[in-house]
Amino acid sequence: MFHTHLIPEEIEKIKNLEGQARGQTIKSALQTIEIMEGKEGLEKFKIRLKEIGCWLDIYEDYNKIKIFAWYPMWYDILPIVAAVDLFAWDEEKLKQFGAYNQRVSFFEKVLLKYFISLDLVFKFTPERWRKNYSVGDFSFAAFNEKEGYGILQLKNFTVHPAFCHLLLGYLISANKFVVSFKEMTGEETKCVFRGDPYHEYLIKWTK
């Protein structure tokens, strides 16, 4: 079970995160909360943000968010952590959040429709990442089509443990977007929150 407690110290830590996030990431997060918890859940979420003193006007209507604009990193990360705290999401729910996040992203829909093979999805992950975040260095570490696996690494990105599970769901969903498989799974084999120097994701599939 994954746990997080949004205490004042945690909020302050998130607000001090370096880097910027595109408006698309914030819009996708709010859309996904609505998909998973319904309109009533989204309204409860907005009330929660006001209660903890983290309300921003851009959260009022996600359709009005400027998706190409850059915003402070915490504008994106804090809603995710607040949702985990409010709805008591576990690791599987966070992976589901990441999958929905990928599916509703305008950037992903535009970029991935030009990819015709899975190796291209892996190889262009760094470029796709940079469309969304100003910090963090994604690298394509390995791809073995015959054995059915690929490895991606993310360095210089330490925001919150909740994001690790979200990103795993996001990566799996992106690969499924391009090619259909009988089964696709993934795991975070290395994580900075477990003492590793970077995040590493192993994606496996069966045709």
The mean per-residue pLDDT over the stretch 177-196 comes to 89
Residues 150 and 119 in one domain: yes
Write down which residue in 44, 72, 103 finishes a domain: 103
User: Is 1 domain-assigned?
Assistant: no
* pLDDT, tens digit (0-9, with 9 covering 90-100), for 126-135: 999 999 999 9
Say if 40 falls within a structural domain.
Answer: yes
Which pair of structure tokens corresponds to residue 164? 């690790």
Q: Which of 57, 80, 103 is the last residue of a domain?
A: 103
| Domain match, 135 and 163 both | yes
Q: How confident is the model at residue 190 (pLDDT cuts 50, 70, 90)?
A: very high
Q: Assess whether pLDDT exceeds 90 at residue 12.
A: yes
- Top pLDDT among 198 and 103 is at 198
Contact predicate 140/122, CB 8 Å: yes
Residues 41 and 91 both lie in one domain: yes
- Is residue 3 in a domain? no
- CB proximity list for 52: less than 8 A, separation 6 or greater: 6, 11, 82
The alpha-helical segments, DSSP class H, found in the chain are 8-15, 23-51, 74-87, 91-104, 106-112, 118-123, 125-132, 161-178
134: domain CATH number is 3.90.1520.10
Do 164 and 132 share a domain, yes or no?
yes
pTM: 0.92
Q: What is the pLDDT of residue 95?
A: 97
Q: Which residues pair with 70 in a beta bridge?
A: 22
CA–CA distances in Å: residue 66 to residues 4, 54, 133:
29, 19, 15
Q: Which of these three, 82, 103, 124, is where a domain ends?
A: 103
Say whether pLDDT at 67 is over 90: yes
Least confident range of 55-59, 91-95, 143-147, 173-177: 173-177
Does residue 193 belong to any structural domain of this protein? yes
Question: If you average pLDDT over residues 14-43, what whole number do you get?
Answer: 97
Task: Indicate whether 126 and 201 sit together in one domain.
Answer: yes
Does some domain include residue 33?
yes
Pairing of strands 137-144, 149-155: antiparallel
Question: Could you list the residue range(s) of the whole structural domain that residue 55 is in?
Answer: 8-103
pLDDT number for residue 111: 72
The token duo for 67 is: 């998706």
Residue 54 lies in a domain: yes
Note whether residue 24 is domain-resident: yes
If asked whether residues 124 and 154 sit together in one domain, one would say yes
- Whether residues 81 and 148 fall in one domain: no
The reply to whether 24 and 66 lie within a common domain is yes
